[in-house]
Amino acid sequence: MAAECVTRVELHISCRGLLDRDTTSKSDPLCALYIQDSLGKWVEYARTEKIQNNLNPDFAKGIVVDYYFEMVQKLKFSVYDVDNETSSLGDDDALGDMECNLGQVVSKKSYASTLQINGRQVGTINVYAEELKGGNEIVNLTFRATNLDNKDFLGKSDPFLQLSKLKSDGGTLLVHRTEVVKNNLNPSWMSFSIALATLCGGDYDAPIRIGCYDWDEDDDNDLIGCVDITLRSLIDSKESGIDCYDYDDDGSHDFIGSTNASMRQLIETKQSGKGLDLVNSKKKQKKKGYVNSGVLYVSQCNVCTSNGDPRNAQSLHYLHSHEPNEYVKALVAVGEVCQDYDTDKFFPALGFGAKIPPGMQVSHEFPLNFNPTNPYCHGIQEIVLAYQNCIRQVQLYGPTNVAPIINHVIRFAERAGQENTASQPPAVLAKHVLAEIPKQVQEHFNKRGLAPVQSNGPEPPYLGGL
């Protein structure tokens, strides 16, 4: 069997405009992720944290899932208003569901949709997918602050920290939120552990934003101050503190600080009260990722006589009235996976090895819809319809010459590679509805700098001089 195209991705979830289910306050949302199993049953996979009194939550707890390129992985995100301490969600108020495929989320990277209850829109949800890099190193962190600005009129600030990584588009991605320390201008927060991949994508030089906020019960949290810094500077710094400021309208600067030390000092003095603790990094095997690879999906059908007369029930092309034949099963199985990575859902569908109308000449490269200027079909179902219509009109022939089809795909792939923009990856991944991709074809792709996904199997006898 060929190696699986698998990588780990972390899903970050945020919602906007949630229903308010509480009478004296706001909803306390939590998001649960369900994955559909092989029997079609929804099985709970993971949950985010609960956020109190918030109709526009950004959940700090990401959900890590294994992403398989060749599989259709159906997901359901369900948001609940949690007002009790029980683990069951059955007694909590529903705030809406959203169903999608994992491939849709990964291909778009940031997938936005509506939350619905019984077909009624009840808010929006955004799922941001990020490939995990940097292995499984764990970073242990401890923060404290001194002389915080007092944002409360009565009493003192109730500070908490938010750690975010900065994205390439200038936005931020929340990765951790500490607990709230009530009525304290010199707080010490509980130590916590976070995966290096989650904190900074495994990059010690990636910017991290640490923001300090004053918690308010009505969710109108006040920013006290923030600082942008890298993990490397935290580890290597020999300064006694990190200067963090709140820039007020009158030009004043309110200082908040967190002390840190070098890695050697941290290891030797874990209990010395330093403001930042970075110890116990543990490495595990790194996995290769396939997220955001380009995909060229070309549907190809072998209509040679080797498949048997389509009028015979034993033929692979026999059109059953009550179930799909083997070719339709293959078209749907592969197509449903690949279509998640395409924006317009238009796919070229080609056939080879048959006599085609009107002249009934043998062709080893023809569009299933018989339109040479536009061989594209919109969606997988249209490919199936074009195939079924084609089988009724062509005469199966031979030999099994795949060279013209392979060269057709290569031309498509090369053209797609040349048209890549800066935001698109230079690699093009060609996925075929062929029973096997022989070694000669694999080598032919490799010479062109292309990488077809293949399933190992015996080489067919006819390669047409490829």
Provide the token pair at 307.
């498949």
Residues 255 and 273 in one domain: yes
Instruction: Report pLDDT digits (tens) over 99-128.
Output: 999 988 988 889 999 999 999 999 999 999
Q: Would the pLDDT of 69 be above 60?
A: yes
| Alpha helices by DSSP H, 34-186 | 102-108
The amino acid present at 307, given as its one-letter code, is N
58 within a domain of the structure (yes/no): yes
Q: Spell out the long-range contacts of 305-312 with Cβ–Cβ below 8 A and sequence spacing 24 or more.
A: 305/353, 305/396, 305/397, 305/398, 306/398, 306/400, 307/396, 309/396, 310/391, 310/396
Kindly state the percentage of the chain with pLDDT values over 70: 71
> If we measure between CA atoms, which residue out of 465, 450, 466, 364 comes closest to residue 410?
450
CA 40 to the chain's CA centroid:
22
Q: Is the whole-model pTM more than 0.75?
A: no
User: Both 82 and 172 in a single domain?
Assistant: no
Burial class of residue 136 (count of CB atoms within 10 Å of its CB; 0-12, 13-18, 19+):
middle
- Describe the crossing of helices 326-338 and 379-391 by its angle, rounded to 10 degrees: 160
Per-residue pLDDT tens over the stretch 121-130: 999 999 999 9
Instruction: Look at the block and give the residue holding tokens 């495929």.
Output: 101
Q: How many domains does the chain have?
A: 4
Residue given tokens 């975010």 in the structure block: 164
Residues 330 and 408 in one domain: yes
Q: Answer yes or no: are the C-beta atoms of 116 and 178 closer than 8 Å.
A: no
Please tell me whether residues 206 and 250 are part of one structural domain.
Answer: no
- What's the sign of the alpha-carbon dihedral 312, 315, 316, 322? positive
Same domain, 123 and 13: yes
* Whether residue 249 has pLDDT greater than 60: no
Mean pLDDT across the chain, nearest whole number? 75
**381 plus 349 within the same structural domain:** yes
Same domain for 80 and 147, yes or no, is: no
Beta-strand runs (E) in 84-206:
93-101, 110-117, 120-131, 138-141, 159-166, 172-177, 192-195
The answer to whether position 313 is within a domain reads no
Amino acid making up residue 273? G
> Are 10 and 49 within one domain?
yes
Which pLDDT tens digit goes with each residue over 148-159?
877 766 678 889
Q: Which of 80, 100, 131 is where one domain is finished?
A: 131
Judgement on whether residues 347 and 437 belong to the same structural domain of the protein: yes
Strand partners, 162: 177, 211
Angle at Cα 237 formed by Cα 235 and Cα 240, nearest 5°? 115
The answer on 358 and 284 residing in a single domain is no
Look up residue 324 and give its DSSP letter.
Answer: -
Flag whether 308 is in a domain.
no
367-393 core/surface letters (b: 16 or more CB in 10 A; e: else): bbbbeeeebbbeebebbbebbbebbee
Are residue 265 and residue 364 in the same domain, yes or no? no
- Of 131, 148, 169, which marks where a domain is finished? 131
d(CA 60, CA 50): 10
CA distance 148 to 223: 11
Q: Domain boundary residue among 207, 236, 265? A: 236
The confidence score (pLDDT) of residue 116 equals 96
What value, to the nearest 5°, has the Cα angle with vertex 178 and ends 176 and 183?
A: 155
Print the domain residue range for 332: 326-420+427-447
345-358 pLDDT, tens digit each:
888 888 888 888 88
Can you tell me which residue has the tokens 């949690």? 82
Task: Name which of 229, 179, 178, 176 is nearest 198 in CA terms.
Answer: 176
pLDDT above 90 as % of the chain = 24
Please tell me the distance from the alpha carbon of residue 245 to that of residue 227, in angstroms, as a whole number: 7
Candidate ranges 59-68, 230-239, 306-315, 389-398; pick with highest mean pLDDT: 59-68
Cα separation, 251 vs 256, whole angstroms: 16
